[in-house]
């Protein structure tokens, strides 16, 4: 049997079965193919048909693989029966048997064909058993018999797949997949991935993952969900953390390999989606991560970079110039009752109407979503929105998250994907207000940077992907602060995650409140003054509103915070100091400021005292120094 090129048809079929190719050699024609366990592009094994050989062919491994393993591998791929080495010589396979077996492969008549084998090895690298995958889809297990052959079962000891990889990265998060194919696929992305044969979690399997952070990738069918649950239950109490992940958009009966094939960008999203998934608990209720659980990096991470020359520069998409931008997180902090929520309502009203801002520019018209944990809709939010002139049809308030028919509070760790769907359903959302953000962080320690970053970094990415402006409101810490960036609740990570941060403070010695910039990625905007006024709705309900004023603000956020923390004692000391120093007549301003500094009186406190004491400032000539003096 030969084709037009004179190549043996049996040899061609064998090459096809081994995923190799026929080549010309000194002794005739041979097949070069990947050896057992090597990649598909590998050509480390040579096979030559020889009907005089005990098995009908000869093999040679250029990689030094075990010759018995190579021959068994060839027989499996060719669909030949297992070689019985203890059989009498009369059982030698005939030329016709080999020819018939190869012809069956060519004609597609073989009942099943081995397409992959997956090695399960112990922690020392010794092969314990294999999972064999066939086409049509079927699986079996076998273990070495110690004589170069196989026993058709896995034996008593069961271990996790790719155990050696897990041992190499002892701090890596482990992705548990339903099968070996998926585990290999996830591992190819640089993650640590594993599975267990037939879903059987033995004591050895659980011990191998003891103390590790686990992500279970369940297939999208009932069997997949049951296996995912079984894995979670088996690892409960041993793993440091467990997340059971249903990948978004996964088709019916789909697995992680299907999900990765569907979109090339999914490979970059996998780790993020899994990290954002809620923790699994034994009662199957999702809870946020405990503060003691630190995120661990996956091993063999592939870093993705981008050349700046390939990125098109675009301007910031401002909603309120210098203060709110699409795709950015803005933090707004201030004491209770200072007017933070009223500012947020004023901003929302202007966006729903496409109205002018108080300083300059016009708001883009759009919808607004509000998450408010402290103010009721009917007696606080709606009345305030009405007196602010909002288009109520464009304002949507998040009431609760509903899971399994039960209501619970919205959680930034668990519900970002649900929020994405909600925003898409509303459409044309320009702003999301979170008031206060600490009510939606879950059970994390707001003073631990790692815990806060684990929540806010995904939130910042969410704002960018959803192309919305995020305004998060917070209260300042109880301890006094020296700088404005520290006047935001808890960890500095809150300010670090935000692109813009503002503080609301009372202006010293006036009834005015100030909106001041504490952090920005652009030119700092001027401070704005305002007062809270009371107005009635059409139905006569009294509500507070913001009344902006145009008077200039000459204090910075840091100066205002420092002055606010100086206390009445420091203020009284500053006034007395001025009276003493200016009692004999005018004194240079620079000299007074320097003397006050040596007496531990800040310049901000000093200027408050200046105003309260009605100190007069004059200048000695056009280029002269400023002089301060007491009124006559």
Residue 350 is part of a domain; what is its CATH number?
A: 3.40.50.300
| Cβ atoms 141, 156 nearer than 8 A | no
Do residues 221 and 333 share a domain? no
122 lies in some domain: no
| Cβ atoms 416, 276 nearer than 8 A | yes
Q: Would you state the pLDDT for residue 101? A: 54
Do residues 323 and 468 share a domain? yes
Dist CA 381 CA 345 (whole Å): 8
Do residues 449 and 470 share a domain? yes
Q: In whole angstroms, how far apart are CA 611 and each of 114, 282, 431, 551, 575?
A: 89, 64, 40, 16, 10
Dist CA 102 CA 110 (whole Å): 9
Last residue within a domain, chosen from 509, 526, 559:
559
Segment-wise mean pLDDT, segments of 10 residues, the chain, 632 residues: 40 82 68 83 81 77 81 83 53 53 48 86 91 86 86 87 90 92 92 91 92 93 91 90 92 92 87 87 51 43 81 91 93 88 95 93 94 90 95 94 85 89 92 92 73 85 92 74 61 79 82 88 89 92 92 82 61 81 85 83 79 82 79 80
Do residues 348 and 214 share a domain? no
Do residues 506 and 620 share a domain? no
296 lies in some domain: no
Domain enclosing residue 476, as ranges: 318-559
Q: Residue 396: helix, strand or coil by DSSP?
A: strand
Give the orientation angle of helix 266-276 with respect to helix 449-466, to 10 degrees: 130
| Cβ atoms 213, 170 nearer than 8 A | no
How much is the pTM? 0.48
Q: Would you state the pLDDT for residue 89? A: 44
143 lies in some domain: no
Contacts of 548 by beta carbon, 8 Å cutoff, 6+ apart? 358, 528, 529, 530
Q: Would you state the pLDDT for residue 486? A: 65
Q: In whole angstroms, how far apart are CA 423 and each of 430, 431, 432?
A: 10, 10, 9
184 lies in some domain: yes
DSSP letter at 287 equals B
Do residues 571 and 524 share a domain? no
Dist CA 205 CA 333 (whole Å): 49
388 lies in some domain: yes
Q: Would you state the pLDDT for residue 90? A: 44
Last residue within a domain, chosen from 276, 298, 333:
276
Q: Would you state the pLDDT for residue 103? A: 52
Total domains present in the chain:
4
Terminal alpha carbon distance of the chain: 123
Dist CA 257 CA 224 (whole Å): 14
457 lies in some domain: yes
Do residues 350 and 487 share a domain? yes
Dist CA 67 CA 56 (whole Å): 14
Q: Would you state the pLDDT for residue 402? A: 86
The pairing of beta strand 367-372 with beta strand 395-397: parallel
Q: Would you state the pLDDT for residue 183? A: 95
Residue 261 is part of a domain; what is its CATH number?
A: 3.40.1360.10
Q: Dump the DSSP string for 455-500.
A: HHHHHHHHHHHHT-EEEEEEPPPSS--SSGGGSSSS-THHHHH-SE
Do residues 201 and 89 share a domain? no
Do residues 532 and 400 share a domain? yes
Q: Would you state the pLDDT for residue 631? A: 85
Do residues 337 and 392 share a domain? yes
Which of 470, 422, 465, 416 minimizes the C-alpha distance to 441? Answer: 416
Q: Would you state the pLDDT for residue 258? A: 92
Do residues 514 and 421 share a domain? yes
The number of beta carbons lying within 10 Å of the beta carbon of residue 290 is 13
Dist CA 197 CA 120 (whole Å): 9
Dist CA 369 CA 394 (whole Å): 8
Last residue within a domain, chosen from 89, 110, 131:
110
Q: What is the side-by-side order of every strand in the sheet holding 213-217?
A: 192-194, 174-176, 213-217, 241-245
440 lies in some domain: yes
Q: In whole angstroms, how far apart are CA 495 and each of 86, 330, 501, 524?
A: 75, 9, 7, 15
Dist CA 276 CA 288 (whole Å): 10
Residue 619 is part of a domain; what is its CATH number?
A: 1.10.10
Do residues 553 and 579 share a domain? no
606 lies in some domain: yes
């Amino acid at each position: 049997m030969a084709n037009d090129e004179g190549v043996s048809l049996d040899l061609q079929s064998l090459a096809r079965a081994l995923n190799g190719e026929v080549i010309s050699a000194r002794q005739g024609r041979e097949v070069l193919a990947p050896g057992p366990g090597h990649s598909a592009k590998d050509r480390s094994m040579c096979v030559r048909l020889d009907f005089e050989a005990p098995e009908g062919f000869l093999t040679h491994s250029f990689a030094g693989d075990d010759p018995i393993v190579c021959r068994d591998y060839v027989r499996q791929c060719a669909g030949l029966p297992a070689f019985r080495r203890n059989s009498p010589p009369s059982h030698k396979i005939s030329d016709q048997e080999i020819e018939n077996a190869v012809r069956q492969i060519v004609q597609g008549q073989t009942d099943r064909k081995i397409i992959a084998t997956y090695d399960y090895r112990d922690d020392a690298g010794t092969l314990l058993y294999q999972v064999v995958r066939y086409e049509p889809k079927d699986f079996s297990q076998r273990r070495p018999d110690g004589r170069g052959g196989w026993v058709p079962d896995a034996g008593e000891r069961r271990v996790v797949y790719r155990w050696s990889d897990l041992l190499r990265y002892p701090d890596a998060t482990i992705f548990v997949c339903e099968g070996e194919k998926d585990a290999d696929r996830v591992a190819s992305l640089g993650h640590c991935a594993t599975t267990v044969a037939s879903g059987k979690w033995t004591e050895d399997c659980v011990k191998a993952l003891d103390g590790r952070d686990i992500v279970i990738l369940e297939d999208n069918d009932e069997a997949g969900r049951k296996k995912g649950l079984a894995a979670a239950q088996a690892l409960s109490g041993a793993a440091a953390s467990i997340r059971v992940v249903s990948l978004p958009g996964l088709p019916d009966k789909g697995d992680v390999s299907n999900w990765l094939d569907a979109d090339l960008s999914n490979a970059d999203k996998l780790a993020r989606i899994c990290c954002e998934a809620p923790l699994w608990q034994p009662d199957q209720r999702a809870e946020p991560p405990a503060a003691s659980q630190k995120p661990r990096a996956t091993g063999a991470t592939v870093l993705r970079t981008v050349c700046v020359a390939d990125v098109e520069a675009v301007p910031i998409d401002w909603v309120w110039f210098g203060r709110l931008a699409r795709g950015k997180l803005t933090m707004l902090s201030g004491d209770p009752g200072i007017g933070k929520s009223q500012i947020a309502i004023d901003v929302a009203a202007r966006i729903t109407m496409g109205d002018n801002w108080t300083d300059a520019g016009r708001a883009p018209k759009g919808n607004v979503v509000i998450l408010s944990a402290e103010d009721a809709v009917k007696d606080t939010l709606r009345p305030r929105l009405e007196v602010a002139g909002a288009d109520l049809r464009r304002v949507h308030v998040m009431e609760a998250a509903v899971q399994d028919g039960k209501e619970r509070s919205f959680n930034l760790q668990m519900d970002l994907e649900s929020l994405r769907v909600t925003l898409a359903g509303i459409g044309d959302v320009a702003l999301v207000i979170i008031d206060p953000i600490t009510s939606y962080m879950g059970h994390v320690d707001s003073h631990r940077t790692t815990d806060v970053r684990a929540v806010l970094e995904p939130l910042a990415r969410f704002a960018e992907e959803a192309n919305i402006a995020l305004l998060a409101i917070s209260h300042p810490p109880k301890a006094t602060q020296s700088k404005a960036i520290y006047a935001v609740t808890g960890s500095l990570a809150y300010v670090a995650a935000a692109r813009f941060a503002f503080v609301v403070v009372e202006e010293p010695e006036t009834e005015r409140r100030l909106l001041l910039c504490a952090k920005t990625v652009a030119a700092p905007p001027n401070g704005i003054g305002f007062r809270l006024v009371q107005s009635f709705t059409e139905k006569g309900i009294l509500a507070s509103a913001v009344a902006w004023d145009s008077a200039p603000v000459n204090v910075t956020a840091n100066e205002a915070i420092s002055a606010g923390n100086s206390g009445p004692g420091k203020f009284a000391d500053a006034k007395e100091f001025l009276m003493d120093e200016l009692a004999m007549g005018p004194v240079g301003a620079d000299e007074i400021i320097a003397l006050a500094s040596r007496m531990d009186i800040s310049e901000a406190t000093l200027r408050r005292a200046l105003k309260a004491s009605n100190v007069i400032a004059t200048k000695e000539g056009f280029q002269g120094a400023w002089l301060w003096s007491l009124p006559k």
